[in-house]
Chain A
């Protein structure tokens, strides 16, 4: 007879850690099972070559919720907490912007950006407030749901008539239309298009990319920061908070299935055959994996299983890590500027064109690249005088029509270097080691079905009341005792901890 835990959390991603900690603080005995040897999920720092480390999946911190940090009492050290975004131009006339202003563009664009950024921050604040509480249930007469809806209504009204109308106008729109209406500079439009589509299977002309843009801004007004020691340091702090709260963390234990008996969950079984008992199982895994692989469709009703099966969750971004024997030279850019966030997307059409092949199961031969040289600000990541580059490359579809093999990887690598050579001609010769993670690799290494960061496309039809699907949008699955706490649940991905916090609060309230 094994011990019965008050709760078992599957997966020590940042949300799993936040959720487990809050459950433990509420007096529950909590077991946290992680498949990998290292906690952190997709927020880890990993050595990919001797002496060279990078944040292996997520590499910039946008969204860690101040509320989460405050509640958990953690404060990650940040090396620059409002990184500039530099949109590279082949001729060296780059454009750079942060959350407030833009440089390198016409006066008209400077003024437009100021106004645009201010308005977007106001809208994003509503998304943030929505994100920090469980979504209300529609069609429910419960006081809590009515109150939550009323709060959303009040938030909207407080915007004022003009702004509310504007929010309703843009929320379902594509970012391309909005950008072409407001701005002249192609570099600015290209980089903002990237902001709206990074990590999604959406192009700037896809509907609801305004929503994805606002989602990115939601947490901290779009401030981009680089945590000292990489993302792994952030999750290490979370793990420390979890252990201090009494959470028992077991790594290297992959959960094979969630055990269901008589219509409720009773525990989990790990790959090594071990069973752990609990009447509360919280899954940090994506909703598809949780429902169809871990639990099994037979334990839920047909309609629910079908909705879960229909979640769009195929990733479209690759991760590239390079070990460099020195910083590359980029025309018109100081070496110190390489510590900022650098984007290759020379104009707004470039981004949409990069998306085109992905629609048909091919990767972009002219991909969009978001690159960082984290070792510029953080010398712990590379040997003295040497550097690392961490880049997100898209679009690189999960389901490559020809299939992912070494030849396909080599072709993709070549395409990336060709694009990089336009801006940093000496980059390739400085490379001493490299690692390329396609969505298939991301799926395998971080146990995210489809390799999608958000555990499910972030779009209006998979948002708020219907995230991940109707019938499970309040973290509670339609089988007693099973809950979701990951990015697949409201409010979606990004290293924010919001889903984990909301889930824990819902579970505690439900079991009080």
Chain B
């Protein structure tokens, strides 16, 4: 056996050179083996680029699996809770997958690239689970995380920027995907994203990554294009009401304590669970949960005041017999909504839409801690849901 030289330390994404060139604060962290920026110059400005212009985010470290073969459709259909027969080639599905106990292993997007050829894209790694699930199916599963460079181009002017780069995506519907040729290579573009705004994700071979970045930035010069880090993206996704693994739920596989993981019904994702499907992972447990009632409920909170309710307890009453009914999992002051917003988890039957609850916010002023009880309303819709997000053809800005 020979000892191969393996890469030590953090990996650099194919877009690294371009991000490094724009970086002025040198604030990076590790994400699935890659070094990625929290921010490149100012997270607030990067955030405003998402909402007012175009922001570009390197999502190459997202875990990507290719699922293909004659049984690819029945395989993914049994894997996830939603009906994948409805996801035709050229469409993308947001999906969750569960273990036999009906607990969410992770969420992600499944791209139906071509007939019977899928890409599953998720935050966490799942090769073992995907392989275990392949028993009895004629499918091939391969990891293509490092073989595909991915770039999110998000914001109201994103369509215009791509048009100017010669990529006509105006008619692409939300959750649609299409193929282009770029620099002699195949460029896949999907109208997807994690910002809740108009936006696209671009998928290309790593050796064309820098050329693609340069073309997009060249085209975006007049419309305020910016590169962004994960801080800005996190704020945008909370506004959009998107849940994130390890923040808003714990992936079931590494979770040890019982009751700490969540079912899709407990994450506000019942719309993703199709009980008409006869077999899918978690079906029996979820059907039982549906009959007997869930323990937890996912909530979106519109909170009084302006102090972000990070990690706050949630109470049903302000005073007397105060009993914590849950806690906040993600919180932020939303600049675009001018609201103090949060995502959280509360015990059933609390947390119905329209209910008022109380949030205990701790904050620090010059070393000393203070506490306020802020009133909060449970709201139904994501906080930020602009018409341009779903308008087709995409609105020109």
- Chain A residues packing against B (C-beta within 8 Å): 261-264, 292, 296-306, 309, 471, 478-479
Selected interface stretch from B129-137, B148-156, B195-203, B232-240: B129-137
Q: What A residues does B283 contact at CB under 8 A?
A: 263, 301
User: A301's contact among B71, B74, B75, B279, by CB below 8 Å, is which?
Assistant: B279
Q: Which of B71, B280, B284 has the most CB of A within 10 A?
A: B284
Pair B284/A478 contact, Cβ less than 8 Å:
yes
Pair B99/A305 contact, Cβ less than 8 Å:
no
Knowing A262-B278, A263-B278, say if A301 contacts B136 (CB, 8 Å).
no
Tell me the complex Cα distance, A73–B283, Å.
Answer: 43
Interface flag for B241 (CB, 8 Å): no
Q: What B residues does A304 contact at CB under 8 A?
A: 100
Pair B135/A305 contact, Cβ less than 8 Å:
yes
Q: What A residues does B78 contact at CB under 8 A?
A: 298, 302
Chain B residue with the shortest CB-CB distance to A293: B136
Q: What B residues does A300 contact at CB under 8 A?
A: 279
Tell me the complex Cα distance, A261–B135, Å.
Answer: 19
Shortest B140–chain A CB gap in Å is: 16
Q: What A residues does B230 contact at CB under 8 A?
A: none
Interface flag for B282 (CB, 8 Å): yes
The total number of A-B Cβ pairs within 8 Å is 52
Q: What A residues does B280 contact at CB under 8 A?
A: 301
Tell me the complex Cα distance, A323–B247, Å.
Answer: 73
* Sample of 24 A–B contacts (CB below 8 Å): A262-B278, A263-B283, A264-B278, A292-B135, A297-B137, A298-B71, A298-B75, A298-B78, A298-B136, A298-B137, A300-B279, A301-B280, A301-B281, A301-B284, A302-B78, A302-B99, A302-B132, A302-B135, A303-B99, A303-B132, A305-B132, A305-B135, A305-B136, A306-B132
Q: Which 7 A-B pairs have the closest CB atoms?
A: A297-B136, A263-B278, A303-B100, A302-B133, A262-B278, A297-B135, A301-B100
Chain B residue with the shortest CB-CB distance to A300: B279
Q: What A residues does B137 contact at CB under 8 A?
A: 297-298
Shortest A299–chain B CB gap in Å is: 6
Q: What B residues does A302 contact at CB under 8 A?
A: 78-79, 99-100, 129, 132-133, 135, 281
Knowing A263-B278, A299-B279, A302-B281, say if A309 contacts B135 (CB, 8 Å).
yes
Pair A298/B279 contact, Cβ less than 8 Å:
yes
Q: Which of A261, A296, A302, A306 has the most CB of B within 10 A?
A: A302
Q: What A residues does B129 contact at CB under 8 A?
A: 302
Tell me the complex Cα distance, A64–B133, Å.
Answer: 39
Chain B residue with the shortest CB-CB distance to A304: B100
Tell me the complex Cα distance, A301–B71, Å.
Answer: 16
Chain A residue with the shortest CB-CB distance to B99: A303
Tell me the complex Cα distance, A306–B129, Å.
Answer: 10
Q: What B residues does A264 contact at CB under 8 A?
A: 278
Pair B279/A263 contact, Cβ less than 8 Å:
yes
Other A-B pairs, 5, CB within 8 Å; known A298-B136, A305-B132, A479-B279: A298-B75, A298-B279, A302-B78, A303-B132, A471-B100
Render B35-51 as a binary contact track against A, CB cut-off 8 A, 1 for contact.
00000000000000000
Render B268-300 as a binary contact track against A, CB cut-off 8 A, 1 for contact.
000000000011111110000000000000000
Render B311-338 as a binary contact track against A, CB cut-off 8 A, 1 for contact.
0000000000000000000000000000
Q: Which of B151-170 contact A (CB under 8 A)?
A: none
Q: What B residues does A309 contact at CB under 8 A?
A: 135
Shortest A300–chain B CB gap in Å is: 7
Q: What B residues does A303 contact at CB under 8 A?
A: 99-101, 132, 281
Q: What B residues does A261 contact at CB under 8 A?
A: 278
Render B135-146 as a binary contact track against A, CB cut-off 8 A, 1 for contact.
111000000000
Knowing A292-B136, A306-B132, A309-B135, say if A301 contacts B282 (CB, 8 Å).
yes
Q: What A residues does B75 contact at CB under 8 A?
A: 298
Render B89-106 as a binary contact track against A, CB cut-off 8 A, 1 for contact.
000000000011100000
Chain B residue with the shortest CB-CB distance to A478: B284
Tell me the complex Cα distance, A438–B100, Å.
Answer: 37
Tell me the complex Cα distance, A303–B284, Å.
Answer: 12
Q: What A residues does B100 contact at CB under 8 A?
A: 301-304, 471
Q: What A residues does B132 contact at CB under 8 A?
A: 302-303, 305-306
Knowing A262-B278, A263-B279, A302-B281, say if A296 contacts B136 (CB, 8 Å).
yes
Shortest B198–chain A CB gap in Å is: 37
Tell me the complex Cα distance, A304–B167, Å.
Answer: 47
